[in-house]
Amino acid sequence: MKIVVAGATGLIGSRTVARLRDHGVEAVPVSRGHGVDLITGSGLDEAMRGAEVVVDVTDAPARTEDAALRFFRTASANLLAAAATAGVEHHVVVSMVGAERLRSGYFRAKLLQEEQVRHSPIPHSIVRAALSFEFVEAMALADAHRDGVHVVPAPVQPVATGDIAAALAHVAVGLPLFGTLEAVGPEEYRLDDLTAKLLAAKGDARDVVPDERAGLLGANVHDERTLLPGPQAHICHTTFDAWLGER
């Protein structure tokens, strides 16, 4: 089986390639570094030749709504068109838990990407992942408030990036879902509490400030269930403490 992984140089993408190869799959990494440009389409048809499955873990170069919309509108269209031409039988895309409830900011762009996949003639699977530990860490490091790190106090079931990659690889080698799978971690935290635990583990002395206005990637989080999965979610195995230990 030949599986093309678009966005293969990112954290999730590189781990997905490794997981697929562990399954004995021919995993073909696709990115600008591999000579493929999803915006112009350069190199895409050649990379797709003979592929049975595509896994799309691309991300916009900037996570503002406008930049993300421009990126996903073009990149997803080019990827889907090349996949259809190559006779790909299964298109897998990663998205985010809560995207359909937030519907603004970066999440609006992810919903557009999901809709492009659903409306394509290629059988599809959508894997919506919870916020990853790595993502929460990156948000905390990027916070520029002087009085501490401002975090929306919303419940989440954070997941390790390695577990997201494992879920994507598992879905990719199986039959298309023609629907959505949520992949989440085994523990529930409030996002501000999780951020505080993460900073403490790193020796970062900054305070964490619960802030309802902090939002998430340009979207406001109003409901306590917004970032939590449904009852049929796939529960991954890595706890926060295990993730810290692996690092």
Encode pLDDT of 210-220 as tens digits.
Answer: 998 888 988 88
* Residue 144, pLDDT score: 82
Kindly report the backbone phi and psi dihedral angles of residue 2, in degrees, each rounded to the nearest multiple of 5, phi listed first: -110, 125
pTM score? 0.95
Q: What pLDDT is attached to residue 247?
A: 80
Q: How confident is the model at residue 54 (pLDDT cuts 50, 70, 90)?
A: very high
CB 175 within 8 A of CB 96: no
Mean pLDDT of 86-113: 94
Tokens representing 75? Answer: 């990149």
Q: Rounded to an integer, what is the distance from CA 147 to the centroid of its chain?
A: 30
Sign of the Cα pseudo-torsion (44, 40, 122, 114, in order): positive
In CATH terms, the fold of domain 2-246 is Rossmann fold (3.40.50)
Strands 180-184 vs 124-129: parallel, antiparallel or unpaired: parallel
The span from the CA of 90 to the CA of 56, in Å, is 11
29 conformational bin, left if phi > 0, alpha if psi -120 to 50, beta if neither: beta
**Per residue in 157-216, pLDDT tens?**
999 999 999 999 999 999 999 999 999 999 999 999 999 999 999 999 999 999 988 889
How far lies 102's CA from each of 23, 131, 148, in Å?
A: 35, 14, 25
Question: Would you state the pLDDT for residue 33?
Answer: 92
Q: What is the pLDDT of residue 233?
A: 97
Give the span between the Cα atoms of 129 and 165, in whole angstroms.
10
Q: How confident is the model at residue 23 (pLDDT cuts 50, 70, 90)?
A: confident
Can you tell me the mean pLDDT for 121-144?
95
Angle at 213 between CA 227 and CA 109, to 5 degrees: 50
